[in-house]
Structure 1
């Protein structure tokens, strides 16, 4: 009798635990976690700004923003199912399709990369273009990241293969600045506000500027849609209502960016984003504003440019059939009036 009673109590305890676990899952299911590939980078400004402006809550969304130092790390979190969405570069959706993974961008933030290839002032006299990258150490945020993709492509345009230089993952922000100042990299690709910080101190000079449409077309041959919100297609097919709400929230932010000054936008950001040098942050933001789309839509011809760039050096993509229609959709941003 005691044994049966004990079994009953154990069964009830297990059942109770299961109920608690299920209720926890149900609660978690109402939350959307977005991983950002470096939340303080200005290319990904719409992520934090949307939160600051309260647009997620306006749409009835419970969103948590997390950050990884590189887009490739954020991508891995998405593929593992640890997060529901990523704010990262669109080019990952093409690269991943070749590996059997279906990732779809649903809002495009940047019509250009917003990246700058900086060369250390110490070696600038003998490093005038990417044609001089042979034998050099080039900094990227992470191996397999979009900065990695773009660096390889820019070198390949001058006939230099990835075996002729070294790539060093140095992250972004302070870790990138330290790598440049310490001479661990000869040149490297980064975004604002890091670029403006190194230019102001005189530790670096601009080698390739992809913060503007003009500079991007010159470097890459066309518009290069970059920062975006992307999700796994399997999640998208089951959560179209949440996808539509996310799209509305981010497009509101993009419209805010287009209708407000750099000073007004900076005033909405947390103080730790600009620290003690708000003036430099505002200037860097002013330099970055042209990169953002006004409506979240994929720019015409953009996917083709990205595919052309990746095909130029990436053996995973070169010669492969890529269905670009599966790498992005304007379905949700088109619904916004």
Structure 2
């Protein structure tokens, strides 16, 4: 069948439009596949326990390793973890305990740099609830306790601390309230009578008199008393398969964080605070510095996993998570120090 010139032009234009549309639809995917940017999700980027992520960026350590790194933030570590599993990000700054929890679910991720030897978490009780008799975790019966998110490390730790006191899970409630201002609002509004949070929120609430400390896991002594050993927490973790196929990038990231940990160990809280964005400390920089001073001892010096730490974390999770207890957990697949020393 012959076509008149106008019809031929119309078909040609249609074909050209279809080709352009197809090209545009695949271009972003091709760009994403070829991109050398490493996206890291942080479970609350302005938390002091996760400070090494922003500090590494500010100090230029990522660039020094030849890396392009984009930092993103999620209010709860479990949300960041989900992004990692989905492949939306290449790494997560969150709690090490997720590596064990996920292995029990058939997913393998590993920490390649560890920031903190202890959780840095504090269980706060509102001053109102404390005055009414809420003095220890044994008094949690009938109360609502705040966590950053369900499935988060704050939930893991909260459940362990309450269960350890003989209070059944059916006798108390957990409420996700995030961190920072949303945590403070939850306690002020009495939606939670106690909750787990980190610095600088802890210092802020203690200074205002709105809360008191129930359990302090900012120090090794406090963590030993609460959990029976060191509990490596804030860390940088990636999928095991990604590390195996991106060894050069993994090594560069681990080195950048190792340099950051060395910097933290050799500089004062005042010097570190000077490098942080203003929105990290708001209108009270002095309070931020004090919170940072209280937090510095929790950081590792070199990004390496502390000896005995993984065993403590496994013990805590196994105490109340049947899936972890029944699984054969291979701790050697949940972390590695190998990338820290790769030249």
Give the alignment of 1:304-315 within 5 angstroms. 304-315=311-322
Corresponding position: 1:172 with 2:179: yes
Cα distance, 1:26 vs structure 2: 4.3
3-state SS, counterpart of residue 185 of structure 1: coil
Q: Is the 8 A contact 1:152 1:161 kept in 2?
A: no
| Residues matched between the structures, number | 335
Give the alignment of 1:179-190 within 5 angstroms. 179-190=186-197
Cα distance, 1:79 vs structure 2: 1.0
Corresponding position: 1:327 with 2:330: no
- The aligned counterpart of 1:49 is 55
Cα distance, 1:18 vs structure 2: 6.2
Cα distance, 1:258 vs structure 2: 0.2
Give the alignment of 1:74-223 within 5 angstroms. 74-125=80-131, 126-223=133-230
CA–CA distance in 1 between the matches of 2:28 and 2:292?
44
CA–CA distance in 2 between the matches of 1:22 and 1:69?
28
CA–CA distance in 2 between the matches of 1:158 and 1:26?
50
1:23–1:80: structure 2 CA closer, same or farther, 3 Å change rule? closer
3-state SS, counterpart of residue 118 of structure 2: coil
Cα distance, 1:333 vs structure 2: 1.2
CA–CA distance in 1 between the matches of 2:22 and 2:148?
47
Give the alignment of 1:242-261 within 5 angstroms. 242-261=249-268
Deviation per CA, 1:148-171: give whole Å up to 9, x if none.
000000011111121110001000
Structure with max Cα Rg: 2
Corresponding position: 1:227 with 2:249: no
For structure 2, list consecutive stretches of 5 or more residues without a partner in the other structure.
Answer: none
Corresponding position: 1:264 with 2:271: yes
3-state SS, counterpart of residue 13 of structure 1: helix
CA–CA distance in 2 between the matches of 1:14 and 1:275?
47
Cα distance, 1:314 vs structure 2: 1.2
CA–CA distance in 2 between the matches of 1:227 and 1:66?
16
CA–CA distance in 2 between the matches of 1:36 and 1:30?
19
Cα distance, 1:23 vs structure 2: 4.6
Corresponding position: 1:297 with 2:304: yes
Cα distance, 1:127 vs structure 2: 1.3
CA–CA distance in 2 between the matches of 1:15 and 1:72?
36
3-state SS, counterpart of residue 166 of structure 2: coil
For structure 1, list consecutive stretches of 5 or more residues without a partner in the other structure.
Answer: none
Q: Is the 8 A contact 2:56 2:260 kept in 1?
A: yes
Cα distance, 1:117 vs structure 2: 0.4
3-state SS, counterpart of residue 86 of structure 1: strand
Cα distance, 1:9 vs structure 2: 2.4
CA–CA distance in 2 between the matches of 1:223 and 1:140?
21
Name the TM-score, length of structure 2 as normaliser: 0.94
3-state SS, counterpart of residue 72 of structure 1: helix
- The aligned counterpart of 1:30 is 36
Cα distance, 1:225 vs structure 2: 0.4
Name the TM-score, length of structure 1 as normaliser: 0.96
Q: Is the 8 A contact 1:139 1:188 kept in 2?
A: yes
Deviation per CA, 1:222-277: give whole Å up to 9, x if none.
00000000011121111110000101111111001000000000001011111110
